[in-house]
Amino acid sequence: MADKSSDLPLTRSSVKAAHEAIKEYIHCTPVVTSQTLNHLASQPQASEALIGTAFEGRRSASPKINLFFKCENYQRIGAFKSRGAFHALSRLSKEQLAKGVVTHSSGNHAQALALAARTHGVRAYIVMPTISTPSKISATRGYGAEVIFSGSTSQGREAMVKGVIERTGAFLIPPYDHPNIILGQGTMALELERQVHELVNRDASLSVYREESNHTDSKPTLNGTSNDESRSTPGRCPGHLDAVIAPLGGGGMLAGIATALSGTGTKVFGAEPSFEGADDGRRGLATNQRVTSVKTLTIADGLRTPVGVTNWTVINDNSKVQGVFAVTEEQILSAMKLVIERMKVFVEPSAVVGLAVCLYDEEFRKMVEEEGGEEGWDVGVILSGGNTTLEAVSGLFATGGKEAERAEGKLGKKGEKIAENVAG
């Protein structure tokens, strides 16, 4: 997808157009709430939890937070990636589709592109590292793709993709760093807007706001758009999200959500693991420079990639993304345990980093306390996927994440796994 001359601009209107193009192929995933997690998010942390942090010895924040979970683990192929893959294919000509599509991915994008290609009767070539997990290889093949194995390094994968393109003429669909992918991923935010409004209309107690304000005349329509595109930024009111927080890896999802919600008055935040430098987005924002390489074996394996070039232009725009926060492996596991046990929702570690920020990041919680005041904030949390196994989850909790095998690393000279960027 090197030629971007025919791509739609990164605007809310383009996200709406993307949703129209793909809505018959994707699920409108549910939005769920949890009074238990609202209560936990709205309680101050114990002073012991702040030991060793920058907030040690300070008063714990006591924000009021009501959470709305967008469950993309129920999306086709078990993760949000289907949105971007279907939209990317919708932007190709018949001539381009006839030659097939190719990508490099060891994760959810591989399965998403394979599914989208099969749906449209298009040949798909997926380059996967030899150390990709067997379940993901099997799932990708199950959708009809031709899997081509490569070495573990990014250079090896890219060389293999180049060879496929030269041999077949297939069109490259990158995992995250492209406008068409960004716009497709952003469609979840349009649905989230509408669904929250409908939920709060039916049950006002779901919102932190108890009284209607004079800004409720403009409501999202069924396709996630507003019935008044020229309106000013809406005020705080029932059914209008104060913020949305989403996981940040390569950045396609976060950039898409930020594009979709631009100008709506909803703040957008990213969430990352902090383990072994996986918080490249946060570090990049601190220095105003994109971090180009990430080598980490965080348990949130879907977030082991650096932010893409195109995605960085959105994420580094403070008018679109208001901040990025990072959480520890222990906090990710704790949030994951709560989602599985209390909400009965099966998710992968990468999916819960946003919730972990809401529960445990004092900087974020202090901000909500100060800006939300006594009313607080209604916060949308993206649960990005659920592509893991019972065995993997059991292993993480059996060892607290410290000794469990961290999937998909680079094989060292002695066969050991070491960190390596793993795309989408």
Give the active site residues: 81, 106
Kindly give the pairing relationship between strand 267-273 and strand 146-150.
unpaired
Q: How many angstroms separate the CA atoms of 297 and 275, rounded?
A: 8
Rounded alpha-carbon distances, angstroms, from residue 22 to 25, 98, 160, 269, 308: 5, 20, 30, 25, 23
DSSP 3-state assignment of 66?
strand
**What is the chain's Cα-based Rg?**
21
Cβ-contact 106, 119 below 8 angstroms? no
Q: Are strands 377-383 and 323-327 parallel, antiparallel or unpaired?
A: unpaired
Q: Read off φ and ψ for residue 163, nearest 5 degrees.
A: -65, -40
For the beta sheet containing 267-273, the strands, ordered from the edge strand earlier in sequence to the opposite edge, are 31-32, 65-71, 377-383, 243-247, 267-273, 323-327
| Beta pairing class for 146-150 and 377-383 | unpaired
d(CA 278, CA 210): 39
How far from chain centre, in Å, is Cα 382?
7
